[in-house]
Structure 1
Amino acid sequence: MGNRTGDESLNVIYIVLDDVGYSALGCYGSEIETPNIDSLAENGLRYNNFNVTPLCSPTRACLLTGRNCHSVGVGLVTEIDWGPQYPNKRGRISNTAATLAEILKLNGMATYMVGKWHLVPGHEAASSGPFENWPLSKGFARYYGFLLGMTDQYAPDLVYDNHRVNKPTTTKYHLSEDLVDKTLEFLTDHISVTPDRPFFLYLAFGAQHEPHQVPKEFIDQYEGVYDKGWDLIREERFERQKKMGIIPLFTDLVDLNPGIKPWDELTATEKELFIKFQQTYAGFLTHTDQQIGRLLQFLKTKNKLDNTILVLLSDNGGSQEGGWNGSINDSAYFNGIEENVEVMFDHIDEIGGPLTSPNYPKGWAQVCNTPFKYYKQDTFYGGTHVPLIIQCPQRIPDPGSIRSQFYHAIDITPTILDLLNMNAPPVYEGVPQMPMHGVSMKDTFTEPHGPSKRKTQYFEMVGHRAIWQDGWVAVTYHETGIPFYEDDWELYNVTEDFSQKYNLAAKYPQKLTELQAIWWQEATKYGVLPLDDRPFRKGYEGLQEGRKTFIFYPGMAHLPSSAAPKVSLSSYSITIPIFRSNRIEEGVLIAHGNHSSGYTFYIKDNYLFYEYNYVGTVYKIQSKVEVPVAYSTIRFEFIREIFSQGTGKLFIDGQQVGTLYMPRTLPFVISVEGMDIGRDQLTSVSPNYPVPEFPFSGHIEKVVIELHDDQEYSMFLKKEKREPIYININGTIIFL
C-alpha cells in the first residue's frame, strides 16, 4: 500500500457529462433546468476558464491520468487503433501513466466506475477481450457501463465488471437511471460493510452524447421554449451569462458560425423539426440532472456529502455531428450523409423515443457553446471551453463563487492528489511512470484572484491546432488534405476578448509567430508529432488484422461494431448451415445494426429474407422458394461493382433464390450497434420481427463471413492512382 498522509475520510467523485457546451447548464446561463447541478455550484466553485480536448476519449485520458492525451496514446477516439507506428493514437492509456483509480487504490481507497469508458481500442471491446484496457485493469474494483463512445439509452450494450449482460427488460428503462441505480448499489454495499474506507467514484453519463433519447414528459416540459429560435436563445443566454458573471461584462457575442442560417430564413418545416430536436436535448439534460440529484440525495442521507469532493465537467463542447439539419439516424454522420428535413419530419413524433437516434443541428450546437464559435472536434473555444464545478467541503471559504484562472483537464487529478496529500508513484507495477503534466488547482479554492499555475497548453485534433499562453491564443482551423504549412492561423487576446471574436493576427504578427513556435515545441515535447489529419484510416485492427474469414457460433455475446467484420466497401458472403425440424422454426440468423442502419438475415413464414437498411432506405430480398425442413445451407453474397454499389444474392443449398441491385450501401460504418448471432438483441434492424430479438428457433451450426478481394475496384483505384476513400471529420468524403 502507498504512503497516505491525507484526510482518511475524504471521498472523491468525478461526474462527467458528454457533449455539454459552455452555456448548456443553468448555472452557466442556460434556460435548461439543472437544479441539482446548480446546487453543486452554489456549494462549490464554478470555473469559467477551464478547457479540455475537443473530443471524448482524449479528455477522459487527460482527466484520469493528469497527462496530455497524445503522450499517453489517446490522441483520438479509441475505436480505431492506429497501430504501433502511431504511439499517440493507440486507443489505450499507456502503462507509463497510471490512472487516478490505480493511484488511489494503491493508497487504500475503494474504486468504482459507472458509465462510459471509451478508453479501450475498438477491436478489444469484444467479450473475449483482451481485458488489460478495460476499467477493472485500470484501477477500478467494480464497473458497470458501456465500453465505447455511445450506446442506445433504451437498449444499451452493457458490461458488468468484465462480462457483457443482456439488454435490460425493466419497464420504462433508461440508461441514465440504470447507471445511477448501479452507482447507489455499489455505494450502499461499500458504506454498509466498510463505512470508514474512503472511495473514488467515476460516474460518466452517456448523456448528452447522441442519441438524445428521453421520456416524453421531459421533452414536453420545454414545449414552446424554443419557438423563438436559436438566434434569440443564444442572445438570451449571452445576456444571462454576463449578469451571472460567468463571462466578463466586456465580452462580445461571436457571429453565427459559417453555414448556419439565421432562424428567420428557415422554412416552417425546418423550424418545427429543429425545435423538437432542441426540446429533446433540453429534456435529456434535465433528466440527467435529476439522476445526479438522486446521487446527491443519497450522499446527504448517508452523511457522506460533507466529506466528499465532487468534480463535475463536460468532456468537450456541443457536437456538430448532427449536421446542418439534425439527425435521426446515428450512422449518417459517420458515413458522410446529410439527412433530409422532410424525411425526418415524417418521424418528428418519434424523436426522443426508442425508434430514432436523434442529434440536434449545428445551429443549436453553437447555442450550446455560447458565447464561442465552432464546436466539438475544433480547437476554438467552442470545442474546448466547458463547464467545471468543484465542490470541496470545508476547503472553499466562499462557495457559490466563480474562478477565472486558466486550467485544463490534465490539472484535475493532480488537484485531487494534492487535496489528499498523495503522490503519484514514480514506478507502478514495475513500470517507470512519466511525470504528471498537470498542476494542482488547490490554491484557487482560497485565492480567488491568484494567477494560474498553468502558463501554457497546446491543443490538437486531426490537424486543428491551438496554443494558449498567458492569456493569448493562437489557433487554426485545418482543412483536411491541405498542407499544414498552408493553414491560416488566428490570434486572440482572450484576457480582453473572452469569446475569441477579434482576430489580431494581422495586428500582431510577431506574437503569432512566437506562439506558433511554442506550439511546435509543446507538440514535440508531448508526442503530438507527426501531424496527421485523417480521423479515420485503415489501421491496425488487432485480431482482425489481415483476416478474410470469420466463423461465429450461436451463443456468442453481442459483438460491438468496432470488432465485427468490416463488410463496407467490399464484396463478401455470409454462409450459414442450419437445421429445421419443422416448418414453424424461424428467426434471425445474423443481424448487425439497429433501426438506423445495418443488415439482417432471417427466416420468417418459411421464407428467407435479407434486409439492408441504408439510413432509412431499406433493400429487401425474399427467397422465391421456401426454406426446406431438415439440413440446408443458407447463403448471401454481395458483389460490389464500384464504390458502394453492388448486387445482393440469396442462395439455398447452392440454388440462387433471390437477387437485388443495391445502388448505395454504407461506405464506412455499418452501424453504431453491433452484431448478434441467432437473434437481434438490442434494437432491431427490421420492424418485421414479430417478437423481441426474434431468436432463431432451429439450429445454427455456424455463421461464416468471408471478405473477398474486389479486382474491379482495385483496378479502378490503380488506374486513377487513388487509394480507398475515407471520411473527414466534417462528413466530407475525400480521397486520401
Structure 2
Amino acid sequence: MENRTGLEDSSEESALNVIYIVLDDLGYSALGCYGSEIETPHIDSLARNGLRYNNFTVTPLCSPTRACLLTGRNCHSVGVGIVTEIDWGPEFPNKRGRISDSAATLAEMLKLHGIATYMVGKWHLVPGHETSSSGPFENWPLSKGFQRYYGFLLGMTDQFAPDLVYDNHRACKPYHSRYHLSEDLLNKSIEFLTDHISITPDRPFFLYLAFGAQHEPHQVPKEFIDKYEEVYDKGWDQIREERFQRQKELGVIPPNTELVGHNPGIKGWDELTTKEKELFIKFQQTYAGFLTHTDQQVGRLLEFLQSKNKLDNTIIVLLSDNGGSQEGGWNGSINDTAYLNGIEESVNSMFEKIDEIGGPKVSSNYPKGWAQVCNTPFKFYKQDTFYGGTHVPLIIHCPQNIRDPGSVRSQFYHAIDITPTILDLLNIEAPKEYEGVKQMPLHGVSMKDTFTEPYAPSKRKVQYFEMLGHRAIWQDGWVAVTYHEQGVPFAEDNWELYNTNEDFSQKYNLAKVYPWKVKELQGLWWEEAVKYGVLPLNDNPFRKGYEGLQEGRTLFTFYPNMAHLPTPAAPNLTLSSYSITIPIYRTDKTNEGVLIAHGGHSSGYTIYIKDNYLFYEYYYVDTVYTIQSSTPVPVGYSIIQFDFIRKLILQGTGILSINQQSVGSVFMTKTFPFFVSVEGLDVGRDRLTPVSTNYPVPEFPFSGQIEKVVIEVHEDEFSTLFNRIKEDPISININGTIRFL
C-alpha cells in the first residue's frame, strides 16, 4: 500500500493515528477511574474503552519523563537527567537540557514514514537560555520532528496569561474575557487536525498534546472551583481513606494493599486550625476544579475524533509525567517566585487572598497534605524515587488491538516503553541512523502483548531511577530505594527495601530482614547507572550551569518591540549590583507607560511613567518597594537610570535618576536571591500579567519613544559569594531566609 507521500507503508496498521495526552503533576489516585472523587468522565470513558495500567512508572520530574516518552530511551542517556532550564555543561553529559541528536524522537521517526506530526502544549525539552525569540531553535519542537507547534517552552506558565509560542515565534493569546490556556490548546489541536483531515484525510497523524494542567499555577474558571464546595470539608485524612477503598473496589490496587501512614511532617487533619482548614480546602477545591476542566477539554478532543470517524482508528495514550507535587510546601502557595526562592508563605498572608485562589491574580499550589492524597496509596511525592513520585496512571485506548476493554493490567512498565509499543503497533523500526547521526538503541520494550494477554509476563525486568541523588532500582517486584539528603555523601545514604509483589504501597521496609538483597540491588543500581549514563551524580538543584549566549555577559542592550524574553534567557539581577539605563523621548506631557518590566503578578520590577512622573517598583512577595520621582519627567530627550547598590547580600539601595540627577531612592531590606520572577522581561510594555497594580492593563505601552534599554551587571564584593551559592547553595544560609525543597 502506498500513502499520500509516495512512501511505501509496510502494513495496513500504519493507517492508525497516534495521540499522546500528557497531564502534569497528576498523582496515581487523582482520576475518577483510579479512585478519585474528582469528576473526570471523559478520561474515564477512555479507560472503559481501553486499558488501565496499575504498575506503570515514570521519572519523578517533568522533563526527564518527557524525554523518555518521546525517545524510548532512559533520560540520562539522552541528556535530560533533570529539568532543562539549566544546561549543566559538558562535565555533566546526562544533564545538558536537551535531547541528544543520537536519540530521535517519535515525531522524527514517524515523519520518515509520511506520518504528519503535531505538537500542542508544554515542551520543556530546551535549555532555558535557548527559549528567547532569537533561538537557537535546534531544540524547539519544529527541530525535533514536529511539523506544527503551539504551546509554551518552559516548565510552567500562567493559565490566563501564558507565554505562547507558535511554531518558531512568540504569539499573543486570543483576547477574550474567558480565556484559559487548556481551552486554547484544545482549540489549536482541533484546528491542526481539521486542516489535516480536510486536506489529507488518508494520511495518518501523530498529535502530542501536553497540558499545563495539573502543574501549578492551579487556575481555572470559578464555576469549576465552586463545583467542589463542601466536598473537601471532611479533610485530607478521610478523603485519602475513601480513595483507597475505591481503588480496591476498582481493582487498580491489589486487594491486600495497605495504606501507608502520613509522610513526615504531614499533620492529621484534626490537628489543623480552623483557618488552615479553610485555606487548605480552597486549594484542593481549585485543584479538583482544574482537573475537571482539563477533563472537559479531553472530552472535546474525543468528540471531535468521533465526529470525524477517527476515534476507532486512533491509539490514545494518556499518562502523567510524575506524581503529585510537594512544591506547594506545608501551607500551599499563591506565589511561585516565593517557592523558587525558598520562601515559605504564611497561612495568615495567604488567607487574606483566599477568594483569589484559582484566579488570574495569584499562582496557586496545594499543600503537601493534599499532594499525598493525590498519590494514594503511596508515600512521598514528585522529585522522590518512592512510588509517590514515580507511580502514575496510564490509560491506553486502541480499539483495533485491545481484547477486553475496561480491564486493568498489572505488568510493570516505564515511560521508555511507550514509544517502542507505538512503533510495534505501526510495524515501524526505529532508525539506526537519523540525519547522518548514529542512533543509540531503544531502551524500552513493547507492551503490545498486554493488549490481548492479561497475564502476559512483563518484558521489563529491571528499571533504575535517579533524581537529584534520590535513587531506586526495580527488579522483578523488588525495589531498593533511598531518600537522599542534600549535602550527605551518596555512600552514606540509607537504602530501604520493598517487595512490591506483596506490598504494593511500599509500606514495609524489609532492609533489615534481607540485607543481602539490599546489597544485591545496590550493586545492580550502579551497573545500570554506568550503562545508562547516570554518573556523575550531583544533588544541587541550583547549580550554576552553562548559560549559552548569556555566559559571562555583564552588558545587555535591548530595543523597543523586542519579543517577550523568558526569565532563563534574561539578565540575572539577583545577588549583584546593577544599573538600568533608558534613553527616551517624550513629545509632550501625556506620553506615559512602561519602559521596562520583568515579572508579573507574583513578583518582579518595573520602571514606568505615569501622570508625568517616573516610578520604580520592586515587588517582593508581600512587600512593594516604590520610588516616585521628586520632579516630573521632562518633555523631549532624557536619560532614565536606575542603580541598585548591593549591601548585605539580599539588601541594597535603589536610586532613580533623570539626566544623571537623583530623583528618589529606597532602601530595600529584602530582594530575591535566585529568581526575580517566573514571568519574563518586556521592553516598552508589560505583556503578560502586570508587575504593578498602579498602572492600567493590558500592557500599558509607552506612548513616547525608547531608544534602547541598557542593563549592566556590576562586579562587587558579593560576586564571589554569588558564585559559591550557585555552586553549593546548601552550605550557605542567606540571612536565614532560604529553604530548599
Q: TM-score range by the shorter chain?
A: over 0.9
- Residue 382 (structure 2) pairs with residue 376 (structure 1): yes
The answer to whether the 8 Å contact 2:650/2:669 transfers is yes
Task: Report deviation, 1:671.
Answer: 0.8
Per-residue CA distance 1:21-57 (angstroms, 9 max, x = gap) = 0000000000000000000000000000000000000
Give the distance between the partners of 2:627 and 2:725, measured in 1 at CA.
33
Give the distance between the partners of 2:725 and 2:684, measured in 1 at CA.
39
Trace 1:78-477 onto structure 2 (pairs within 5 A).
78-477=84-483
Trace 1:560-575 onto structure 2 (pairs within 5 A).
560-575=566-581
Gaps of 5+ in 1: none
Identical amino acids, percent of aligned pairs:
78
Amino acid at match of 2:549: L
**Secondary structure of 2:590 counterpart:** coil
The answer to whether the 8 Å contact 1:19/1:376 transfers is yes
Trace 1:529-568 onto structure 2 (pairs within 5 A).
529-568=535-574
1:18 corresponds, among 14, 20, 24, to 24
Trace 1:18-57 onto structure 2 (pairs within 5 A).
18-57=24-63
1:583 corresponds, among 589, 604, 611, to 589
Give the distance between the partners of 1:690 and 1:416, measured in 2 at CA.
50
Partner of 2:620 in structure 1? 614
Per-residue CA distance 1:188-218 (angstroms, 9 max, x = gap) = 0000010000000000000000000000000
Per-residue CA distance 1:136-184 (angstroms, 9 max, x = gap) = 0000000000011000000000000111012331220000000000000
Per-residue CA distance 1:396-439 (angstroms, 9 max, x = gap) = 11000000000000000000000000000000001000000000
Per-residue CA distance 1:459-480 (angstroms, 9 max, x = gap) = 0000000000000000000000
The answer to whether the 8 Å contact 1:4/1:422 transfers is no
Task: Report deviation, 1:395.
Answer: 0.6
Amino acid at match of 1:726: P
For structure 1, which segment, 348-357 or 162-171, has the greater mean C-alpha deviation from structure 2 after superposition? 162-171
**Secondary structure of 1:78 counterpart:** coil
- Residue 703 (structure 2) pairs with residue 697 (structure 1): yes
**Secondary structure of 2:545 counterpart:** coil
Cα distance change on mapping 1:35 and 1:414 into 2, 3 Å: same
Give the distance between the partners of 1:715 and 1:174, measured in 2 at CA.
43
The answer to whether the 8 Å contact 1:647/1:660 transfers is yes
Cα distance change on mapping 1:129 and 1:48 into 2, 3 Å: same
The answer to whether the 8 Å contact 2:16/2:315 transfers is yes
**Secondary structure of 2:283 counterpart:** helix
Give the distance between the partners of 1:544 and 1:493, measured in 2 at CA.
48
Partner of 2:729 in structure 1? 726
Task: Report deviation, 1:2.
Answer: 7.2
- Tell me the TM-score normalized by structure 1: 0.98
- Residue 10 (structure 2) pairs with residue 5 (structure 1): yes
The answer to whether the 8 Å contact 1:226/1:279 transfers is yes
The answer to whether the 8 Å contact 1:66/1:412 transfers is yes
**Secondary structure of 2:20 counterpart:** strand
Give the distance between the partners of 2:7 and 2:412, measured in 1 at CA.
31
- Residue 687 (structure 2) pairs with residue 687 (structure 1): no
Partner of 2:525 in structure 1? 519
The answer to whether the 8 Å contact 2:124/2:153 transfers is yes
Give the distance between the partners of 2:233 and 2:227, measured in 1 at CA.
13
Give the distance between the partners of 1:548 and 1:716, measured in 2 at CA.
17
- Residue 493 (structure 2) pairs with residue 487 (structure 1): yes
Give the distance between the partners of 1:576 and 1:54, measured in 2 at CA.
44
The answer to whether the 8 Å contact 1:668/1:726 transfers is no
- Tell me the TM-score normalized by structure 2: 0.97
Task: Report deviation, 1:723.
Answer: 7.2
Task: Report deviation, 1:642.
Answer: 2.1
The answer to whether the 8 Å contact 1:597/1:616 transfers is no
- Residue 493 (structure 2) pairs with residue 510 (structure 1): no
Give the distance between the partners of 1:636 and 1:725, measured in 2 at CA.
31
Give the distance between the partners of 1:328 and 1:457, measured in 2 at CA.
36
Give the distance between the partners of 2:647 and 2:438, measured in 1 at CA.
53
Give the distance between the partners of 1:675 and 1:714, measured in 2 at CA.
23
Per-residue CA distance 1:208-263 (angstroms, 9 max, x = gap) = 00000000000000000000000000000001101111001100100100011100
**Secondary structure of 1:32 counterpart:** coil
The answer to whether the 8 Å contact 2:343/2:739 transfers is no
Task: Report deviation, 1:714.
Answer: 4.9
Task: Report deviation, 1:508.
Answer: 0.2
Task: Report deviation, 1:381.
Answer: 0.3
Give the distance between the partners of 2:392 and 2:739, measured in 1 at CA.
31
Give the distance between the partners of 2:453 and 2:8, measured in 1 at CA.
28
Give the distance between the partners of 1:462 and 1:475, measured in 2 at CA.
13
Give the distance between the partners of 1:181 and 1:723, measured in 2 at CA.
41
Task: Report deviation, 1:691.
Answer: 3.5
The answer to whether the 8 Å contact 1:64/1:99 transfers is yes
Give the distance between the partners of 1:521 and 1:353, measured in 2 at CA.
48
**Secondary structure of 1:588 counterpart:** strand
Gaps of 5+ in 2: 1-5
Per-residue CA distance 1:62-92 (angstroms, 9 max, x = gap) = 0000000000000010111111221110000
Partner of 2:3 in structure 1? none
**Secondary structure of 1:465 counterpart:** strand
2:642 corresponds, among 636, 640, 643, to 636
Per-residue CA distance 1:249-299 (angstroms, 9 max, x = gap) = 100100100011100011101000000000000000000000000000000
Give the distance between the partners of 2:709 and 2:67, measured in 1 at CA.
37
Amino acid at match of 1:459: F
Cα distance change on mapping 1:723 and 1:182 into 2, 3 Å: closer
The answer to whether the 8 Å contact 2:342/2:739 transfers is no
Structure 1 residue ranges (4+ consecutive) displaced by more than 2 angstroms after TM superposition:
1-4, 713-718, 721-728, 730-735
For structure 1, which segment, 634-643 or 137-146, has the greater mean C-alpha deviation from structure 2 after superposition? 634-643
RMSD over equivalenced CA pairs, Å: 1.6
Amino acid at match of 1:585: N
Cα distance change on mapping 1:722 and 1:604 into 2, 3 Å: closer
Per-residue CA distance 1:115-156 (angstroms, 9 max, x = gap) = 000001000000000001000000000000001100000000
Per-residue CA distance 1:664-716 (angstroms, 9 max, x = gap) = 101111111100000000000011112310000010000000001122x2577
Partner of 2:678 in structure 1? 672
The answer to whether the 8 Å contact 2:625/2:668 transfers is yes
The answer to whether the 8 Å contact 1:167/1:681 transfers is no
